[in-house]
Structure 1
Amino acid sequence: MFTIITPERRASHTDELDQMYRMRYRIVVGEWKWDIPGIDVGYDMDQFDTGETVYVIVRNDGGDIVATSRLNPTTRPHMMSELFSDYCNLQPYPVGADVWECSRFVTDRSMLADPVEDFQVRCRLGLGLTAYCLDNGISRLSWLTHQKFFNLVQRVWKTEPLGLPRRVGDNWAWIPAVSTIDEATFDRQLDRYRNAEAIVAANRAAPSEREAGRVA
């Protein structure tokens, strides 16, 4: 369902990590147009890909990496502490052994067949993140995300903002946040994975129903 690459397992997963860094570049630079200082062309490996980083990877049936995310301990320098501390204007970003930062939550939608597979892949990625946290005493995840994704995550993880939405250029407003991780979180994600077809169908029908109501 997912692969978790811890620092201890990194030497035996070098090919997967290489593919993952290239996939990340293809999406975050090629599609999202991010400007990431210091990385090589074609290869998204930045200052927060460290010796302590844990990666969650999801593959498709052909073995290609289609989704990934990384986890970093907040007791070391991380994105929130080094780059986005000023975004946290409601409460300070949390630091502790039981708080890790989630970043680079990336899916390659060009390699997914349809919205149901897209939904299932994101569920699998979330399940991998949650499973690692539960197995390692991590009770909270901090992260910086688009406002739209923040709204979606609240359906699964108990989440609160660390700061008000902050718009950068013409992009989505960004929100720093922290989410609680527990067994109920895992169960909710597993239910959503199992019921992906029905959930996707309901989500796709909702805009049409609202539009019909507006016309009426």
Structure 2
Amino acid sequence: MIDVIGPWNRMHHQDTLEAMFRLRHQVFVEEMGWDLPLARNGRETDQFDTARTIYLVYRDEDGAVAGSMRLIPSVLPHVLGDVFPELCSGPVPRGPAIFESSRSCISRKARRKDPNGMIWGALTCGMIEYAMLRELDFITAVMDRRMVDMARVADWHLNPLGPERRIAGGGVVAVTMPIDTHALDTVRLQRGVPDPVLSLRFAGARAA
């Protein structure tokens, strides 16, 4: 199951958040070599980790944090709108029914044991399930071009917001992700993900 941590329950999940920030440091700083000025003391956080940020957390069979994803309401500062707006040919999509997904990561240990990418699929399904609970229109993201192509091959058609750009030696593109049952069923089938994955099933989260 995917745990959802947000403004309504984060005070009960401080240990989980700490483990997640340390996982992000391991993946983005130690493995990928990103230059992130706010990462320090083995923790990776940035200006977009706020009291209103929502986190999806995947745990392994031992209960350890093995993967995570961040969701930010687009009416707040976020990566696409405040760091990479040039990736959009037009205005950056913003609105109460639009969230951004960012900082998706999976531990090295989990990746070794998951060659078919089920954990990535579970986090993605959790994102779609949560978006459907919140009745979002779509989710935006800044993605590696290869991930966009993989989604298209899997019949999940992400919509580019502008042309591909070269950033830090790689090709990236801004996209919107459709939120519907077709997208959910497509990722479940492609990655062998059970239905459903979210531990969250209460009405209060829809208004959080």
- TM-score computed with the length of structure 1 as normaliser: 0.83
State the SS of the aligned residue for 1:179: strand
Looking at structure 1, the residues matched to 50 and 155 of structure 2 have their Cα atoms a distance apart, in angstroms, of 28
Alignment of 1:86-105 (within 5 A): 86-88=86-88, 90-105=89-104
Query: Partner of 2:134 in structure 1?
Result: 136
Looking at structure 2, the residues matched to 159 and 81 of structure 1 have their Cα atoms a distance apart, in angstroms, of 18
Query: Partner of 1:41 in structure 2?
Result: 41
2:172 to 161, 167, 174: 174
CA RMSD, Structure 1 to Structure 2 (Å): 1.8
CA contact (8 A) 2:144 2:172 kept: yes
CA contact (8 A) 1:157 1:181 kept: no
Looking at structure 1, the residues matched to 4 and 150 of structure 2 have their Cα atoms a distance apart, in angstroms, of 24
CA contact (8 A) 2:38 2:44 kept: no
Query: Partner of 2:187 in structure 1?
Result: 189
Which one has a larger percent helix, Structure 1 or Structure 2? 1
Query: Partner of 2:119 in structure 1?
Result: 121
Query: Partner of 1:19 in structure 2?
Result: 19
Which string of whole-angstrom CA distances, capped at 9 and with x for unpartnered residues, describes residues 30-83 of structure 1? 011111122323111110001111100111101111110000001111111111
- Supply the AA of the counterpart residue of 2:138: R
* CA displacement at 1:195 relative to structure 2: 7.6
Aligned length: 193
Distance 1:55 1:153, change over 3 A: same
Which shifted more, 180-189 or 133-142? 180-189
Whose radius of gyration is greater, 1 or 2?
A: 1
Structure 1 gaps of 5+ residues are 197-216
Looking at structure 2, the residues matched to 62 and 195 of structure 1 have their Cα atoms a distance apart, in angstroms, of 19
Looking at structure 2, the residues matched to 177 and 140 of structure 1 have their Cα atoms a distance apart, in angstroms, of 10
State the SS of the aligned residue for 2:158: strand
- Supply the AA of the counterpart residue of 2:136: I
Looking at structure 2, the residues matched to 65 and 178 of structure 1 have their Cα atoms a distance apart, in angstroms, of 27
- TM-score computed with the length of structure 2 as normaliser: 0.86
* CA displacement at 1:109 relative to structure 2: 2.9
1:28 aligns with 2:3: no
Structure 2 gaps of 5+ residues are 195-208
Answer 1 or 2: higher relative contact order, Cα 8 Å, separation at least 6. Answer: 2
Looking at structure 2, the residues matched to 120 and 195 of structure 1 have their Cα atoms a distance apart, in angstroms, of 6
State the SS of the aligned residue for 1:48: coil
Which shifted more, 153-162 or 41-50? 153-162
CA contact (8 A) 1:139 1:182 kept: no
* CA displacement at 1:194 relative to structure 2: 2.7
Alignment of 1:57-96 (within 5 A): 57-88=57-88, 90-96=89-95
State the SS of the aligned residue for 2:22: helix
